[in-house]
Amino acid sequence: MRRKEIKLALVYRDMWQASGKYMPRKDQLVRVAEPIIAMGCFHRVETNGGGFEQINLLYGENPNHSVREWTEPFNKAGIQTQMLERGLNGIRMSPVPKDVRQLMFKLKKIQGTDISRSFDGLNNPQNLALSFQYAKEGGMIAQGALSLTHSPIHTVDYYINLADQYIELGAEEICIKDMAGIGRPVSIGKITKGIRERHPDIIIQYHGHSTTGFSVVSALESARNGADIVDVGMEPLSWGTGHADLLTVHAMLEDAGFSMAPINDDAYMAARAMTQEFMDDFLGYFINPKNRYMNSLLIGPGLPGGMMGSLMSDLENNLKGLNKWLTKRDKPTVTQDQLLIKLFNEVKYVWPKLGYPPLVTPFSQYVKNAALMNVLQMEKGKERWSMLDENTWGMLIGKSGKLPGELGPEIQALAEQQNREFYTANPQDLYPDELDIYRKKMDEKGWDYGPDDEELFEYAMHPPQYEDLRSGKAKENFNELLAQKKQEAASGGGSAGSANAADLPSKVELNIGGQLYRVDVSWDNQLDEAKATNDSSTNGASPAVTGNFKEVLAPLEGRFYLTKSSSEQSIKIGDVVKKGDVIAYIESMKVINAITSEHDGTVVEILYKHGDDVEEDEPIIKLS
């Protein structure tokens, strides 16, 4: 009897994203392609999509060049390349107009990507219909991904029926995407079997993170019940919040009686060593060591491995701000582990209240942010839900599609209190075409659209990051960040001197001759002198004033904005505000947080300009 063949896909992009913040440069990717191909065991390699292009842009590299050169060797070797895209959100965290989505699929196929794995964060078939259509029109294979999670709503039958809907809308393959590694193995086997029985000829691919320890058994159950392809990672980035290791999965499936392509051991060691070299070069500075371990505590909150890198970074930043706040008030500080457990418990509490969105990008980020802000606010003696960001509100009121479950009564009451209107039509209709807008902007700047309009696409998909690329700001910012990380590592996480300096204020106020000056202070000896400012520019910051006033404090660190869109009117000196009014915004943890006034009063001073960075607990607005 002929043994069934199971094919393997290497998720090289996701290996990095599940571990830390950054991914290899273009030259590194091109180098590692050769030993990956020579290993001989992969039929597919995940090359791009998801956060890949934004990460390229963040360190000043053009992602179009990366995708073309990275996919080329696999194309020549006959190994299929695949990308991950987020349906309505394309390859970013926010919704994308139709014309930009359509260009993406056409362009990515031209650049060398064969398969588009499309998922919707809420598992809404409506949001994926255009993805399947545009992928096939562009010459790609349209794969529909079921975003697995574990709840009373997300049952075996739910996922089998969801696969039916995806296939009816045009999906040519199905991926069982267990992004948090919390899918129970037997249930995954039943889902696979149900899809296989209804669709005997469709390709089924299993993708599972190893975060909680289920994924090896899940891969076996999926293969036994009809899966054709299994996604794997490889050392030194397998396991932890990443994926089950190639060697383990290969040996397990071979022992189970499946036919497997052999592994070239010499090529494996070369690819393994090269990946470690990339980590030693600079990427390891952005990988939290805790992400290299599996954690069964995540079975409860169900947060995905792919976001654990950013989660630990967010946790570290907010822990610093929280402890500074607690120390100022002579309260006991908390450890990172204590804050992490509080966060996990709060995720379990808030998730049902938020309508059970599958915990996948970007909605896992929204649920995590809502939970983290609740924890931080309650630690400061404030009420739960007192900080709910605008992106999360967009999800809650239907701007991303229908939620799987019902909102908790307290969320519904809060929406009514804030005059939030619920949206029930097609979310895509909220985002009109924009390519002509970006063509005009590029014409005005004298920028070329690039081969196959790839530069136009990049600008329209990632506007601020692309502008930073063209100006050189992205590379400059990344080099500064890398130098800082290297300095921290060299001093064992920061010397005593640098730790003390971090606790000192970056801004002080001086009263000279009755005039109040705000002074920016450098404590790291990199500047020769502090810069005194009394800025009354129209960008937002107002002249300093003296007297006894009520202050609005920044509830978290981030980037300060007076408005979140050009159509919104910003507050100005002399405006009367009431307690609870939205008066500004802070962008933090990839979302926009509305800042509400805790007092009634009249605006007498705006202490920051639109776009300035602010630290937690600093005054941002003064009221009389």
Determine the pLDDT at residue 541: 56
pLDDT at 131: 98
The secondary structure of residue 596, as a DSSP letter, is: E
Tell me the DSSP string of 278-341: HHHHTGGGGB-GGGGS--GGGGTT---GGGHHHHHHHHHHHHHHHHHHHHHTT-----HHHHHH
Q: Where are the alpha helices (DSSP H) in 329-430?
A: 336-353, 363-379, 390-396, 409-417
CATH architecture of 296-430: Orthogonal Bundle (1.10)
Structure tokens that stand for 353 in this block:
């209240």
pLDDT value of position 498: 33
Domain covering 7-286 in this structure, CATH number: 3.20.20.70
Neighbouring-strand partners of residue 602 = 576
pLDDT, tens digit, 9 for 90 and up, residues 182-204 = 999 999 999 999 999 999 999 99
Q: Which residue has the tokens 């891969």?
A: 219
Does domain 504-623 fall under CATH 2.60.40.10? My reply is no
Q: In the chain, list all ranges with CATH 2.40.50.100.
A: 504-623
> pLDDT at position 578, please?
85
Opening angle at CA 336, ends 331 and 338, nearest 5: 70
Give the pLDDT score at 493: 58
- Where exactly does CATH 1.10.472 map onto the chain? 296-430
Long-range contacts of 158-166 (CB under 8 A, 24+ apart): 159/191, 159/194, 160/191, 160/194, 160/195, 160/198, 162/123, 162/125, 163/191, 163/194, 163/195, 163/198, 163/199, 164/198, 165/125, 166/125, 166/128, 166/132
Q: How far apart are CA 65 and CA 323, in angstroms?
A: 43
Could you read off the pLDDT of 445-485 as tens digits, one per residue? Answer: 999 999 999 999 999 999 999 999 999 999 999 999 999 99
**Where does the chain hold its CATH 3.20.20.70 domain(s)?**
7-286
Tokens of 605: 């001073």
Which residues in the chain come in under a pLDDT of 50?
494-538
